[in-house]
Structure 1
Amino acid sequence: MLAAHALVDGHDSPALRELAGLPRRSDETEIRELYVQALHELGIPLPDEEAAGRCLLTRLAFGLAKDELSPKDVADRLSMTVAARTQEETRFLSVAADYSEWIGPDDLPGWENDLRTAAHSLTASTDLGADIGVPSSRRD
């Protein structure tokens, strides 16, 4: 679905078109190969794991700061394998990792506030811009 959104946004390449047309349950290897090929055709370098993780942290922080994602959306999308480089990234990751489905109703507002504060701190300090996009809250 993301490939189709990229086409709608004006990005176009043969591999991206093929990727957009794949069925939902396609082979993961085929998807990855087409994804890498589409990035190459579009002149977009494939980020290393650290850069990709930092982009994810920043995208989630901007999504939360702009009220495009809820605190729970952030916690659900965050991989604990993401590495943080700056103090602000570390704080955002640490607060997000504190989320649990068993968090009490009295503690939830405090956690949400702490996460929003960490998100605003990260978005104000990052060298990765707001233009990197925000993951949608839809489950496509």
Structure 2
Amino acid sequence: MDRLFTLAWRYAAGLVRAEQLPMEAAHLLAADVDSPALRDLAGCSGRESRYELVGLLKQALAESGTTLPHWETAERCHLHHLAGLLAAGHATSAEVAAPLWERPDIAHTGAEHEFLVAVGPKHHVAHIAAHDPAAHQAWESAMVAAAARLALTTPAEMDAIRARLRFSGDK
């Protein structure tokens, strides 16, 4: 997934605030992602109106041929990102589960649903962590396995998510 679209879904999912967009744009420019609107966004202070900052992000996305994803698409991207972190060993099961307990169930595919089922409800995981170390270990193993399967989502499948975004008119 390209870096500009990653910023877009992170913003749409509420992981990046509007006032953070200029710094994020500057990081993208430093990583050789460039467009006129992205340069304009990077030149902002972060104190501009949310409308202006998000407008520049949308313009940069349009210049790259995409749009700001709908919140549900953004949440699915976040789900895939977290699964990838867990599968690669860059995050623990608890670090991945915590933000998912606070978000809506947005699974569309079997692998997404399987991963969310493996995450399980917060109260159950807290109980087994405190009272049943073997069950907690089994939960972690099941979650890592489900994350690995979800992380196998091909670039073509992720492109299909983006293509549905383009044709659905999500703004």
Evaluate the alpha carbon distance shift between residue 81 and residue 28 of structure 1 in structure 2; reply closer, same or farther with a 3 A threshold: farther
Bigger radius of gyration, 1 or 2? Answer: 2
1:62 equivalent in structure 2: 84
Aligned partners of 1:17, 1:108: CA distance in 2, in Å? 48
Find the partner of 1:89 among 86, 100, 112. Answer: 112
TM-score, normalization by structure 1: 0.69
Residue 118 (structure 1) aligned with residue 146 (structure 2): yes
Letter in 2 for 1:123: A
Pick which of 79-88 and 56-65 moved more.
79-88
Tell me whether 1:46 sits opposite 2:68 in the alignment: yes
Report percent identity of matched pairs: 37
Superposed CA RMSD: 2.9
Cα separation, 2, equivalents of 1:82 and 1:25: 34
C-alpha change, 1:119 and 1:12, in structure 2 (3 Å) is: same
* Unaligned runs of at least 5 residues, structure 1: 130-140
How many residue pairs get aligned? The number is 128
SS at match of 1:128: helix
Compute the displacement of 1:116 (Å). 0.8
The TM-score with structure 2 as length reference comes to 0.59
1:7–1:16 Cα contact (<8 Å) kept: yes
Query: Is contact 1:12-1:42 (8 Å) kept?
Result: no
- In structure 2, do the counterparts of structure 1 residues 34 and 74 end up closer, same or farther at CA, with 3 Å as the change threshold? farther
Aligned equivalents of 2:93, 2:57: Cα separation in 1: 29
Which structure has more helix as a fraction of its residues?
A: 2
